[in-house]
Amino acid sequence: MKITNAKPFFPNKDIDSILNDIKDSLRTGVLTLGPNVEKLEREFADYVGVKHAIAVNSGTSALEIALRYFELNGGEVIVPTNSFVASANAVIFAGGKPVLVDIKKETLCIDPNEIRKKISSNTKGVMVVHLAGLIPPEMKEIQEICKENNLFLIEDAAHAPGASIDNKKAGNLGDVGCFSFFPTKPMTTGEGGIITTNDVKLAEFSKIVRHHGKEGGLHTKIGYNWRMSEINAILGIYQLRRLDEFLVKRNHVANRYAQELNDLKNLTLISVPSNIRHSFWKYPILLNSIKASHLEKIFREKYEIALGTIYFPPIHLQPFYKEKFGFSSGMLPVSEDVLSRETCLPIFADISEEMIDNVIKCIRMELK
């Protein structure tokens, strides 16, 4: 059976309701910055436990808006190299310099010790990435580092809607949280993102900048068209209401993989501390004896099962970053070693038990 690596899920009951709400929106003619965007913002803020949520057209624009608020003016922002290139790009677009740092092999998330090493007089802030939906177990330590050094803390929570640590949700752990609602994420709006914060000034800035810098009838700031449409928001409202249900299923899938593959000597699993709820956008595994690309080819051609890395090569080995900032192989050794051996097993909200069984069987055959 063909098994994809990730996919969105809309229950049939929701599809009927979504279509009715879209028809209502079309009849009103209000297709942007309307009541559905406002509803999604209210409900997402309540869900995360923050005062403000500002819907935008992508996770990337969420990051850039947040970074612009902090007026980088050439300052540095520490970013883990194990992320989508948009995390670092947003720093550049916002007028800063990304300082890429290494990760912990046990979590694939940013290493707090590497943050400490890279702090300089020019450092303005830290961007922490909840990689694959895992909030770094050292989150409290990272918060303290930022507080001690007067640095802002941005959560790139693109992978982590619904994730939590010590019962506090992603998006409510730093100065600002930035989420992506791309189709493969735990919840989707088709295309879209959202900013979460308790800072009223940051919230107002975000609303202005997403709408061409328009404040009242005047353009008081430099902005862009980063609005979310009403139709995208309608999708998000229904997905948000299903999010906890989706995460229960994703954690069920992850638990089955962990229970049935933990005895294999040729792979290493990423453990999740008991105080963390993982959103499992992806289910990464580390191969101990072969490259991820080799196993992915076998699964694609032999079993029609799509495995896939999260991000490889890491940002610092992407051609632009090598040329622009002088990065080269060997500079961030943990990422370079681990990420070449990392791949992800299929995980999505409506994956069947038969599919899970098949993935487990094939992994056991190839890595026995």
78 and 184 co-located in one domain: yes
192 and 251 co-located in one domain: no
Q: What is the CATH number of the domain that holds 228?
A: 3.40.640.10
232 and 356 co-located in one domain: no
pLDDT tens by residue, 146-185 = 999 999 999 999 999 999 999 999 999 999 999 999 999 9
pLDDT tens by residue, 263-319 = 999 999 999 999 999 999 999 999 998 899 999 999 999 999 999 999 999 999 999
Domain boundary among 185, 207, 238: 238
* HSE-CB of 293 using CA atoms within 13 angstroms: 5
Cβ-based neighbours of 260, under 8 Å, separated by 6 or more = 360, 364
The arithmetic mean of pLDDT across residues 74-91, rounded, is: 98
Per the structure, the count of domains in the chain is 2
pLDDT band per the 50, 70, 90 thresholds, residue 1: confident
Domain boundary among 219, 238, 257: 238
272 and 149 co-located in one domain: no
Q: Can you give the pLDDT at residue 153?
A: 98
- The answer to whether position 6 is within a domain reads no
pLDDT tens by residue, 129-152 = 999 999 999 999 999 999 999 999
Question: Phi-psi category of 336—alpha, beta or left, where left has phi over 0 and alpha has psi -120 to 50?
Answer: alpha
128 neighbors 110 (Cβ within 8 angstroms): yes
Domain boundary among 238, 262, 284: 238
Q: Can you give the pLDDT at residue 128?
A: 98
**Among positive and negative, which fits the CA dihedral 273, 360, 186, 14?**
negative
77 and 172 co-located in one domain: yes
Please give the structure tokens belonging to residue 241.
């209401």
Q: What is the CATH number of the domain that holds 299?
A: 3.90.1150.10
- The answer to whether position 169 is within a domain reads yes
The arithmetic mean of pLDDT across residues 210-216, rounded, is: 95
The arithmetic mean of pLDDT across residues 2-14, rounded, is: 96
Q: Can you give the pLDDT at residue 189?
A: 98
180 and 214 co-located in one domain: yes
pLDDT band per the 50, 70, 90 thresholds, residue 4: very high
Q: Can you give the pLDDT at residue 43?
A: 98
Instruction: Determine the structural domain holding residue 162 and report its residue range.
Output: 12-238
DSSP string, 11-61: -HHHHHHHHHHHHHHHHHT--BSSHHHHHHHHHHHHHHT-SEEEEES-HHH
H or E element at residue 65? helix 59-69
Residue 31 has pLDDT above 80, yes or no: yes
- DSSP bridge pairs for 3: 305
Identify the burial level of 201 via C-beta atoms within 10 angstroms of its C-beta, where 0-12 means exposed, 13-18 middle and 19 or more buried: exposed
- DSSP bridge pairs for 53: 196
Q: Can you give the pLDDT at residue 368?
A: 84
Please give the structure tokens belonging to residue 66.
């947040």
The arithmetic mean of pLDDT across residues 335-350, rounded, is: 96
DSSP string, 203-248: HHHHHHHTBTTEETTEE-S---B-PPBHHHHHHHHHHHHHHHHHHH
Vertex 164 angle, CA 163 and 168, to 5°: 140
Q: Can you give the pLDDT at residue 290?
A: 87
Q: Mean pLDDT in the chain?
A: 97
CA–CA dist 50, 186 (Å, integer): 20
Q: Which amino acid is located at 263 in the chain? A: D
- The answer to whether position 1 is within a domain reads no
41 and 69 co-located in one domain: yes
- The answer to whether position 4 is within a domain reads no
20 and 121 co-located in one domain: yes
314 and 192 co-located in one domain: no
312 neighbors 368 (Cβ within 8 angstroms): no
The arithmetic mean of pLDDT across residues 312-329, rounded, is: 97
pLDDT band per the 50, 70, 90 thresholds, residue 322: very high
- The answer to whether position 5 is within a domain reads no
CA–CA dist 118, 77 (Å, integer): 10
By DSSP bridging, strand 214-215 and strand 97-101 are unpaired
- The answer to whether position 7 is within a domain reads no
209 and 256 co-located in one domain: no
310 and 221 co-located in one domain: no
231 and 353 co-located in one domain: no
- The answer to whether position 166 is within a domain reads yes
